[in-house]
A and B are shown apart, each in its own frame.
Chain A
């Protein structure tokens, strides 16, 4: 009987270890959405070009993450990219907040940086941020630069 008890204790330990490892993977390794507060409010941003922005990209104010991109789609009429972002409800943003898409590091992933304005009215769920600046696309930038260079030369 004692032998059986030892076996059962070991098996219990094994199962507990396995469950703990799964739990640790969920908490420490992944951003399990269950534990991330889903409350907050959603705002829409319209960009002419979002570059390489993806869903779940961070939305920051002053470098601090205040939310995430929840959805990206194309407006079929205006051909603008409509980005929905969920902002945590602890943060209130003025209505004249402006948004731009930046890249973290030289080759890092892209994120949305918000610059709060000075108005007294605050953004609410479903509101739209209209002051936006598109992502810098490197090829386009170089193209413009070369074009300008060419134009300069012709004038001279």
Chain B
């Protein structure tokens, strides 16, 4: 009984300690941001590994998600004679929800895990301590550019995903199933609002990008400096990112469209 209580207390203390460390870590990383203005090359390098290298998976899944949505939406809508509204269905679901959320999940799996593993390995091989010995602040040199690159790359990736998903639905709906092309785009343009739908989607992807890269960088930095610790940090990054993104998405949706 007492043992169980003690374990519960220890676990909660640990959770709170981690939350506190994560928050302090974020503040230190943000304090390192201004120094990046002097060395934008660092951010470009990270944009390459976080953004460009994620392009392939984003492009392919965007196209396929759109094509599947087109097929499924059509088979349901055609029963009600509303197959012309396929464009609205696909555009709204992709721009508001699927684009930012699926991109963030893929981003966590593709880029977040890589970030965590890289930083965790740097820590376990004492590269971070080495930097400190040479009076190079790892917060500025390593953490800040990765955080900023993730934050910048997410909305771009989400926009590419959304556009390709709609294009995929267009390919299937108009090309394969014979929905009228004018009705597809016309109804979509009537129903989708720029400020209400697209801008809110961009805001969502910014929030997800911030959370996903924060989690990835922190888990890497906070990893136990062993090979097992690095592997656990990578796993935790993917799991925590997915949970955080899904939970945050519910809150944001309730705030924006509720």
Q: Which residues of chain A have a CB within 8 Å of any CB of chain B?
A: 4, 7-8, 10-11, 13-15, 17-19, 21-22, 24-26, 28-34, 56, 58, 107
The A/B interface has a contact count, at CB < 8 Å, of 81
Known: A14-B55, A21-B162, A21-B163. A26 touches B47 (CB 8 A): no
B97 part of interface (Cβ distance < 8 Å): no
In the assembled complex, the Cα of A5 lies from the Cα of B123 at a distance in Å of 29
Instruction: Tell me whether A30 and B159 are in contact (CB under 8 A).
Output: no
Task: Report 16 cross-chain contacts, Cβ distance below 8 Å, ordered by A residue.
Answer: A11-B47, A14-B153, A14-B156, A15-B47, A17-B55, A18-B159, A19-B159, A25-B162, A26-B198, A29-B163, A29-B166, A30-B189, A31-B192, A33-B194, A34-B194, A56-B190
Instruction: Tell me whether A7 and B48 are in contact (CB under 8 A).
Output: yes
Given A14-B52, A34-B194, A56-B190, list of 8 further CB < 8 A pairs?
A11-B52, A14-B48, A15-B156, A17-B160, A18-B160, A21-B159, A21-B164, A30-B192
Give the 9 A-B residue pairs with the shortest CB-CB distance, closest first.
A18-B156, A21-B163, A21-B159, A32-B194, A30-B192, A30-B194, A22-B159, A21-B160, A10-B52
Partner of B45, one of A7, A25, A30, A58: A7
Q: Kindly list chain A residues whose C-beta atoms are within 8 Å of the C-beta of B194.
A: 26, 30-34
Min CB distance B129 to A, Å, is 27
Chain B interface extent, by class: 20 to 34
Partner of B48, one of A11, A22, A30: A11
Known: A7-B48, A14-B55. A29 touches B156 (CB 8 A): no
In the assembled complex, the Cα of A155 lies from the Cα of B178 at a distance in Å of 55
Judged by DSSP, the binding face of B is helix
Min CB distance A132 to B, Å, is 23
In the assembled complex, the Cα of A28 lies from the Cα of B164 at a distance in Å of 12
In the assembled complex, the Cα of A24 lies from the Cα of B95 at a distance in Å of 12
Q: Kindly list chain A residues whose C-beta atoms are within 8 Å of the C-beta of B207.
A: none
Interface residues in B96-141 by Cβ distance below 8 A to A read none
Q: Kindly list chain B residues whose C-beta atoms are within 8 Å of the C-beta of A13.
A: 52
Instruction: Tell me whether A29 and B52 are in contact (CB under 8 A).
Output: no
B222 part of interface (Cβ distance < 8 Å): no
B188 part of interface (Cβ distance < 8 Å): yes
In the assembled complex, the Cα of A28 lies from the Cα of B198 at a distance in Å of 12
Instruction: Tell me whether A31 and B156 are in contact (CB under 8 A).
Output: no
